[in-house]
Structure 1
Amino acid sequence: MTSLHEILHSRLQNNTVIAKQHDIGVLRISGPDAKKLLQGQTTCDMNKLSDDCGLYGAICSIKGRIVSSFYLVQSHDEVLMIMAKDLVEKTLLHLKKYAVFFKTELVNEQDAFAVYSHITSSSTETTQATLAERLPVTQADQNITLTLGHYPLEVKWLIRREENQADCPAIEEKHSQLAGLSMLAARPLITLAQSDTLLPQWLNMQSTGGISFTKGCYTGQEIVARMQYRGKSKKQLALVTWQGQLDTTKDLLDEEGKSIGQVFSATHIEETCFAFVIINIEPSEAKALILDEQNITLLALPYPVGAKN
Structure 2
Amino acid sequence: MPTTFLNHGFSVLPNWGLILVEGPDAATLLQSQLSNSVLGLKRTFSGEIAQGLGSVRLAGYCSPKGRLLASAWLGLFPESTDSDDRFALFVSKDIAASIAKRLAMYVLRSKVKVSDASNDWEIFGAYRDDQNLEPAYEVDHSLSLRMPDVSIANHTFERLLIAKRKSESSESLIQVDALEQWNSLEVLSGIPRIVLATQEQFVPQMVNFESVAGVDFKKGCYPGQEIVARSQYRGAVKRRLQLAHSNLSSSALDFAKPGVELFHESDATQPCGMVVLAATNPENADRIDFQIECKLDALETGEIHLGMPTGPVLKMDILPYPLLEI
TM-score, normalised to structure 1, is: 0.82
2:65 aligned partner:
63
Query: 1:156-181: CA deviations, max 9, x gaps?
Result: 23423225527xx7478473343321
Q: 1:119 aligns with which of 113, 121, 127?
A: 127
Match of 1:126 in 2: none
> Among 152, 157, 169, which residue is 1:154 paired with?
157
> Which stretches in structure 2 are left out of the alignment for 5+ residues?
45-49, 79-84, 132-136
Q: Does 1:81 align with 2:85?
A: no
After TM superposition, give the deviation of residue 253 of structure 1 in Å: 3.4
Classify 1:216/1:296 alpha carbon distance in 2 versus 1 (closer, same or farther; 3 Å).
same
Q: Provide the secondary structure at the position in 2 that maps to 1:146.
A: strand
Pair 1:193-2:208 in alignment? no
User: Equivalent of 1:106, from 96, 110, 114?
Assistant: 114
- 1:265 maps to 277
Give the Cα separation in 2 of the matches to 1:47 and 1:250. Answer: 36
2:98 matches 1:96: no
- The residue identity in structure 1 corresponding to 2:293 is I
- SS state of the match for residue 238, structure 1? strand
Matched residue, 1:256: 266
Kindly report which structure 2 residues correspond to 1:100-249, keeping only aligned pairs within 5 A, or say none: 100-121=108-129, 140-152=139-151, 153-163=156-166, 165=168, 170=171, 173=175, 175-176=177-178, 177-183=180-186, 184-245=188-249, 246=252, 248=255
**Matching residue within 301, 314, 318 for 1:296:** 314
**Partner of 1:180: helix, strand, or coil?**
helix
Q: 1:250 to 1:47 in 2, by over 3 A?
A: closer
Rounded Cα–Cα distance in structure 1 between residues aligned with 2:300 and 2:317: 14
- C-alpha change, 1:286 and 1:304, in structure 2 (3 Å) is farther
* Deviation larger for 281-290 or 240-249: 281-290
Q: Is the 8 A contact 1:266 1:273 kept in 2?
A: yes
- 1:72-106 deviations in whole A, cap 9, x for unaligned? 01112210111011111111121122111421001
Match of 2:33, as an amino acid?
Q
**1:13/1:88 CA distance change after superposition, 3 Å:** closer
Instruction: Note the residue ranges of structure 1 that are not aligned, 5 or more in a row.
Output: 1-8, 124-137
Q: Could you say which residue in structure 1 is the equivalent of 2:20? A: 28
Count of residues in Structure 1 that have an aligned counterpart in Structure 2? 284
Q: Give the alignment's Cα RMSD to 1 decimal.
A: 2.6
Shift of 1:196: 2.1
CA deviation string 1:224-256 (max 9, x = no partner): 100111142211101101112335276433453
Corresponding position: 1:45 with 2:22: no
Q: Distance in 2 between matches of 1:56 and 1:267?
A: 21
Q: Is the 8 A contact 2:12 2:172 kept in 1?
A: no
Contact 2:139-2:162 within 8 A present in 1 as well: no
User: Residues of 2 paired with 1:254 and 1:122: CA distance?
Assistant: 39
Is residue 17 of structure 1 aligned with residue 32 of structure 2? no
Identity of matched residues, %: 24
State the shift of 1:286 in Å. Answer: 3.8
Which letter maps to 1:35?
A
What's the secondary structure of 1:47's corresponding residue?
A: coil
What is the distance in 2 between the residues matched to 1:72 and 1:40?
15
Q: Aligned equivalents of 1:13 and 1:195: distance in 2? A: 32
Question: In structure 1, how many angstroms separate the alpha carbons of the residues matched to 2:3 and 2:236?
Answer: 38
Q: Is the contact between residue 193 and residue 276 of structure 2 (CA under 8 Å) also seen in structure 1? A: no
Deviations 1:167-204 (A, max 9, x none): xx747847334332132232221112322222111110
TM-score, normalised on structure 2? 0.78
Q: Deviations over 1:237-284 (max 9, x none)?
A: 011011123352764334535643222221124211011111011576
State the one-letter code of the partner of 2:38.
M
Distance 1:85 1:294, change over 3 A: closer
Cα pair distance change 1:122/1:149, threshold 3 Å:
farther
